[in-house]
Amino acid sequence: MRDPASEPWSLGPVVVTGGTGHVGLAIAEAFVTAGATTIAIGSTEARAAAAGARLASLGNGHGLAADMSDPTTVSRVLDDITERFGTPAVLVNGAGINFNRMIRDLTEDEFDRLFRVNVKAMLFTSRDACERMAKSGIRGRVVNITSGNYRYARPDAALYSATKAAMEMLTRGLALEYGAFGIAINAVAPGLVDRPGFTDPAFLKVADYYRGQSANHVLATPEAVAGAVMFLASAGAAAIAGDTIVIDGGFSAGRLDFPRRSS
């Protein structure tokens, strides 16, 4: 087992945007449990307070409310984190939104909102954090939470898939530009993430479809996503850059329902 003091998160705090959500909180919990000072950023005061209380019960964890889709806010928030906890050594971009909409029904405001939250926030938060790491000589990590949707299109999700594809390409570009500073930047792309106890009929219908069409017949879990993020943020992943770990049970590997030819 590696010495925890050798891990990037021993050099400064871990910042998780979208850290108050279903998956983001699991990621933040994993870092806190590993001994990292962790700040979970959410969009509302109530969710940030709840996440902060949960993380504080596990270790050195904190909640913070902020709109990271505004570059001015990004700079202010990272200034505050740096002043209180030190220069961030690990950034996890987990904030994102989605809504189902056919292309013919999309509005310009919806287009702008999806790209502002899913893409603009990730890019400017990553750039600001990486500049701080580089100036401080921190060989840090950035992990972007994209989606298996970047690999395939489906009706009513074209715009969401496009934002995730943009995140994938920006992950590669950021990795190339900041790799010279020893900063490794990668992505984790979950498929549909399980929500035990969730009873929404529409979700359960989609979940059954994903299980049926996945090679392993399982859904991604928040814990599985957190494990992949922890690996990419670790010292052991120093040689991985501009790459993506897909966690979808093999859903994107191919089609199980493709008609078989008789032998």
Residue 261 inside a domain? The answer is no
Residue 52's CATH number:
3.40.50.720
Residue 126 inside a domain? The answer is yes
Select which of 150, 152, 160, 210 is catalytic.
160
Q: Which two tokens stand for residue 118?
A: 């899913």
Residue 89 inside a domain? The answer is yes
Residue 5 backbone class (left: φ over 0; alpha: ψ -120 to 50; beta: rest): alpha
What is the total count of domains within the chain? 1
Residue 36 inside a domain? The answer is yes
Q: Which two tokens stand for residue 43?
A: 């969009």
Q: Which residues contact 205 (CB under 8 A, 6 or more apart)?
A: none
**pLDDT tier for residue 198 given thresholds of 50, 70 and 90:** confident
pLDDT at position 185 is: 99
Averaged over 224-228, what is the pLDDT? 98
Q: Is 160 a catalytic residue?
A: yes
pTM of the model: 0.94
Percent of the chain with pLDDT over 90: 84
How many alpha carbons fall within 13 Å on the CB side of residue 130? Answer: 26
**pLDDT tier for residue 3 given thresholds of 50, 70 and 90:** low
Q: Residue 1 above 60 pLDDT? A: no
Q: Which two tokens stand for residue 238?
A: 């120093």
Averaged over 116-123, what is the pLDDT? 97
Q: Which residues contact 203 (CB under 8 A, 6 or more apart)?
A: 195
Residue 91 inside a domain? The answer is yes
The tens digit of pLDDT for each residue in 41-67 reads 999 999 999 999 999 999 999 999 999
Residue 114 inside a domain? The answer is yes
Q: Residue 38 above 60 pLDDT? A: yes
- Domain range holding 136? 4-248
Question: Are the beta carbons of 157 and 96 closer than 8 angstroms?
Answer: no
Residue 255 inside a domain? The answer is no
Q: Residue 227 above 90 pLDDT? A: yes
**pLDDT tier for residue 99 given thresholds of 50, 70 and 90:** confident
**pLDDT tier for residue 153 given thresholds of 50, 70 and 90:** confident
